[in-house]
Amino acid sequence: MSIYDFSVKNAKGEDIPLSNYKGKVLLIVNTATGCGFTTQYDELQSLYKEFNQKGFEILDFPCNQFANQAPGSDEEIHSFCTGRFGITFPQFAKIDVNGENAIPLYKWLTENTTFQGFGHSPMGIMLSGVVKKSDKDYKNNGNIKWNFTKFLIDKEGNIVERFEPTDMKNLKEKISELL
């Protein structure tokens, strides 16, 4: 299987085959509008602006599974993101990324990657404590741990790397290498 075997719903409820993105470098992100990481929208938009014309796409999947930090409708979330952060990359329908209602794309992503750790920053240490309360074995499974987990996909549809919410530092370099 590859990323191109999946379809997802856009914010209007229409099926979008990911094969539409063949030959592009993709960054797939589960997002939330009320999260401490929401400011990453600025960095994501900057990456999109810099690399989109070179064959890069960000696929944004709002998710309300982590502390109810994306409670709005698809339309409300989109309005917030375009108004506050000026995002121009594709935003899809709100989804579940874990559990029995996780969309097939995210089941595949989590089955084929491992958790990379939150690091030793104050935010990383705090997040480890929060996540451990709901998933005692969180370090040993591929489940999404929090909002703004990112998956970098190469032009052939292969998962190249998983970036946890606390990690944005090497992302630009990795995208540039793949383009």
What average pLDDT does this structure show over 19-23? 97
CA distance 20 to 128: 36
* pLDDT of res. 123: 84
> Which stretch of 46-55, 116-125, 168-177 has the lowest confidence by average pLDDT?
116-125
Q: Is 14 exposed, middle or buried (0-12, 13-18, 19+ CB in 10 A)?
A: exposed
Closest CA to 52 of 73, 71, 26: 26
- pLDDT of amino acid 37: 82
> Which of 35, 59, 95, 103 is an active site residue?
35
Average pLDDT over every residue of 20-32: 97
Residue 25 near residue 178, CB atoms below 8 Å: yes
> Which residues does 133 contact at the CB level (< 8 Å), separation at least 6?
none
CA atoms within 13 A on the CB side of 76: 9
Phi/psi for 25 (5° steps) reads -85, 130
DSSP state of 10: B
Higher local confidence (pLDDT), 54 or 69: 54
Is residue 35 among the annotated active site residues?
Answer: yes
Mean pLDDT of the residues in the chain: 92
